[in-house]
Amino acid sequence: MYLQDLPLEILIQVLSTLSLTDMQKLMLVNFGWRWLIQRFLSRKYHLSLLPYVDNPSAFRDVMRTSHSIISGSFALDFGLHGTTEPLINASDIDVYTGVSNAITIVEYLRNKEGYLIVPVGINPCWAWIDDYEGGITSVIRMLHPRGSKIDVVCSSRISALHPLSYFWGTLVMNFLTSDGYCSAYPSLTERGIGCIHPLRDVTPRVERCIEKYKSRGFSIRDFAQNEAEPHTSRSTKGLRKFGAQRMKVAVPWHCPHVVRSFSDAGSLHLAFSPRSRGETLYPFEEPEWIMGGSHCGGGCKLHSEGSVNPRATYF
Ligand SMILES: [Zn+2]
Q: What are the tens digits of pLDDT across the range 173-232?
A: 999 999 999 999 998 999 899 999 888 878 888 898 899 999 988 999 888 776 555 565
**Residue 296 pLDDT > 60, yes or no?**
yes
Q: What are 206-218's pLDDT values in tens digits?
A: 898 899 999 988 9
Is 105 among the domain residues? yes
Share of the chain above pLDDT 70, in %: 83
The pairing of beta strand 219-222 with beta strand 193-196: parallel
Task: Compute, in angstroms, the gap from residue 271 CA to the centroid of ligand 1.
Answer: 30
**Residue 130 pLDDT > 60, yes or no?**
yes
Is 88 among the domain residues? yes
Task: Compute, in angstroms, the gap from residue 220 CA to the centroid of ligand 1.
Answer: 18
Amino acid at 33: W
In this prediction, residues 243-258 reach a mean pLDDT of 72
- 220-250: b or e for each residue (b if 16 or more CB lie within 10 Å)? bbbbeebeebebeebbeebebeeeeeeeeee
Is 9 among the domain residues? yes
Q: For position 93, what pLDDT does the model report?
A: 96
Task: Compute, in angstroms, the gap from residue 302 CA to the centroid of ligand 1.
Answer: 7
As a whole number of Å, the CA-based R_g of the chain is 19
DSSP-assigned beta bridge partners for residue 34:
none
Q: Which of 192, 180, 201, 195 is nearest to 298 (CA)?
A: 195
Task: Compute, in angstroms, the gap from residue 223 CA to the centroid of ligand 1.
Answer: 9
**Residue 280 pLDDT > 60, yes or no?**
no
Task: Compute, in angstroms, the gap from residue 174 CA to the centroid of ligand 1.
Answer: 21
Q: Mention every residue, 6+ apart, whose C-beta is less than 8 A from residue 188.
A: 170, 171, 194, 195, 229, 254
Predicted TM-score (pTM) above 0.85:
yes
Residue with the larger pLDDT of the pair 152 and 292: 152
Task: Compute, in angstroms, the gap from residue 66 CA to the centroid of ligand 1.
Answer: 37
CA 169/CA 184 separation, integer angstroms: 11
**Residue 20 pLDDT > 90, yes or no?**
yes
Is 314 among the domain residues? no
Is 311 among the domain residues? no
Task: Compute, in angstroms, the gap from residue 205 CA to the centroid of ligand 1.
Answer: 28
In this prediction, residues 89-99 reach a mean pLDDT of 90
Of 121-130, 208-217, 283-292, the poorest mean pLDDT is in: 121-130
Q: Which of 144, 138, 48 is nearest to 97 (CA)?
A: 138
Domain hosting residue 59, numbered range: 3-230
Task: Compute, in angstroms, the gap from residue 48 CA to the centroid of ligand 1.
Answer: 36
CA 311/CA 309 separation, integer angstroms: 6
Is 188 among the domain residues? yes
Q: Mention every residue, 6+ apart, whose C-beta is less than 8 A from residue 136.
A: 128, 129, 153, 154, 155, 156, 163, 166
**Residue 116 pLDDT > 90, yes or no?**
yes
Q: For position 173, what pLDDT does the model report?
A: 95
pLDDT band at 164 (very low <50, low <70, confident <90, very high): very high
Backbone torsion region of residue 67, taken as left when φ is above 0, otherwise alpha when ψ lies between -120 and 50, otherwise beta? left
Is 127 among the domain residues? yes
**Residue 235 pLDDT > 60, yes or no?**
no
Is 303 among the domain residues? no
Total structural domains within the chain: 1
Stated length of the chain: 315
Q: For position 222, what pLDDT does the model report?
A: 85
Task: Compute, in angstroms, the gap from residue 257 CA to the centroid of ligand 1.
Answer: 6
In this prediction, residues 152-177 reach a mean pLDDT of 92
